[in-house]
Amino acid sequence: MNLPNKITISRILMIPVFVILMLVPFPWEEWRLGDESIAVSHVIGTLVFIIASATDWIDGYYARKFNLVTNMGKFLDPLADKLLVAAALVVLVDLDLMYGQSWIAIVIISREFAVTGLRLLLADTGEVVAANMLGKIKTWTQIVAISALLLNNLPFSLIHFPFANIALWVSLIFTVWSGWDYFAKNKAIFKNSK
């Protein structure tokens, strides 16, 4: 297994660490700032999410720079992205950090399942499709939105992001657009299926 694929797998392995840190009520101390407090585990969990998200850029960089693009990587990389985003959205809904717009999480997760299903159909025909630029923009808008929403959970005013709600809507637009584009470009699979 090459280095980019190992980095991708490390991203997948960080997902349960992130979820546990965010959702399990650890008896660790809380940090206080004025009248507000935050669980240390939430600070660490947010950092784990940001680090896991950064590995998406790192594995792609190494795969392209050293010509290490493989079919396994084409399959694993978008799968790792989808698992990370879906887990983070579930965490945000559970912690009530989506400004009462949990339906956006449903749309995003549904799109990810639909595209994964299409990828599986294409793989059955021997075609492994790497993510296109629109899909990469979609992933990064999701990561920015989720990071902003997670950072909004922290009471420290220096890292409070008022644009989190706007970022969430931007990610929704790119999610729907890239999903439609993916199905439009691969509609022949449905015409040719029996």
Q: How many CB atoms lie within 10 A of CB 112?
A: 23
pTM of the prediction? 0.88
Give residue 161's pLDDT. 60
Give residue 144's pLDDT. 94
- Residues 186/118, Cβ–Cβ less than 8 Å: yes
Q: Say if strands 30-33 and 36-39 run parallel, antiparallel, or are unpaired.
A: antiparallel
Mean confidence (pLDDT) of the chain: 87
Top CATH class, 3-192: mainly alpha
pLDDT digits (tens, 9 = 90+) for 130-177: 678 898 899 999 999 999 999 887 765 445 567 888 899 999 999 999
- Report the C-alpha gap between 117 and 159 in whole angstroms: 38
Structure-block tokens of residue 193: 């299926």
Give residue 21's pLDDT. 95
Spell out the domain ranges in the chain: 3-192
Give residue 157's pLDDT. 44
Q: Taking the CA of residue 89 as centre, how many other CA atoms within 13 Å lie in the half-sphere pointing to its CB?
A: 24
Mean pLDDT to the nearest integer, 61-71? 84
Residue 131: strand, helix, or coil? coil
